[in-house]
A and B are shown apart, each in its own frame.
Chain A
Amino acid sequence: MARMKLKELESHLQQVEEFDEPKILLEQYPTRPHIAACMIHTIASTYGDIEDRSILDLGCGCGVLSIGSVMLGAGHVTGVDIDVSALDTAQQNIEDFDIDNVDLVNLDVREVDNVLRRGLFDVAIMNPPFGTKHNKGLDMLFLEKGLKLASRAVYSLHKTSTREHVLKKAESWGAKPQVLAELRYDLPSTYKHHKKASVDIQVDFIRFEVPR
């Protein structure tokens, strides 16, 4: 299954339905199909961290990373999100793709490591809110929780402009960070306040090895 080509995965993920009415305060942007495909494909083929693994999708939104993981042979994916309407969209996507090994849980990332018992996930994957609107540092909270729940590695996206801070923080937590790629995240105008047709953000795709 990890043999599915990157382009093929990307084209499947283009069919994933996005947020009906994205909420600004939760910083809801769908993970672009080319970014999601690049992430999942790398995690699977370079690190063997998808096939037959137990995966946590932190802040799963519409479920694009979860669906991508299943397509490349994940054992089971647990997708969690604070927003029930995002989860409803994810649920619809899961049904449309005829997927049967993703479960969704409505919870707050601040409490995720109390709600979910430890030691049950090999890997945590995420495209966290970058922490712009009123949520400064939220991506670091997502990362911190991911590191507590995953036993092998956490894979995440962070703004390239914050790289130094992210790497330093991760190291202080005992995680071994590695920037795998720099990606251009093209965000099409999602909210009314976006003046341009689309905005490009430079993001780092980072692998954090969990301290043993």
Chain B
Amino acid sequence: MKLLTHNMLTSKNMKTVTTGYPLIIQARDVKVMEVEFRAEFISRMIPKIDWECLCRAAEDLGHLNDLPKSVPDNYENDEDFLKKAHHVMLEVEVINGDLICPESSRKFPVTDGIPNMLLNEDEI
């Protein structure tokens, strides 16, 4: 599960939950890999994601480095920034761990990189 994917996930499918975001990461195994940099894609994705959540997750995993806490103006032309964003969004992966709902504390397991967001019948 890349941090880009984590940025997308909520526990709002639970009936008792109002927002369910962001999910807190409790990682056991984290992998860093090299992913081809696509400037156009990163540039398009940045305005869509929750930047604060991305930074927080990166920090929790110890991969924040010098990623700026807010998106700079003219980010589309700032290749240095785009590469840092790319690294955090796509190159850091949680392989095993849990995602914890901030409201209910319910744990969603991540196994082999795949988060399991399926609920039990009484939770829907």
Contacts and interface: CB of A to CB of B under 8 A. Distances in A.
Instruction: Note whether A and B form a binding pair.
Output: yes
Interface of A: 52-54, 75-76, 78, 82, 84, 87-88, 91, 100-101, 103-108, 111, 114-117, 119-120, 122
26 contacts: A52-B44, A54-B41, A75-B40, A75-B42, A76-B45, A78-B8, A82-B118, A87-B114, A91-B112, A100-B33, A101-B35, A103-B1, A103-B2, A104-B114, A105-B115, A106-B114, A108-B13, A108-B118, A115-B10, A115-B13, A115-B117, A116-B8, A117-B8, A117-B9, A117-B21, A120-B8
A117 B5 CA distance: 10
B115 A120 contact: no
A85 to B, nearest CB: 11
A100 B35 CA distance: 6
Contacts of B113: 91, 103-104
Contacts of A114: 10, 12-13
Given A52-B41, A106-B117, 11 more contacts: A75-B40, A88-B112, A100-B90, A101-B90, A103-B1, A114-B13, A115-B13, A116-B10, A117-B10, A119-B48, A120-B49
Interface string B34-68: 11101011101100111000000000000000000
Nearest to B35: A100
Contacts of B71: none
A53 B45 CA distance: 9
State the main secondary structure of chain B at its contact with A.
loop
Contacts of A115: 9-13, 117
A78 B5 contact: yes
Nearest 10 pairs of A and B residues by beta carbon: A75-B41, A111-B13, A52-B41, A114-B13, A103-B5, A107-B117, A52-B40, A114-B12, A106-B116, A100-B35
A42 to B, nearest CB: 21
A88 B50 CA distance: 29
A115 B99 CA distance: 13
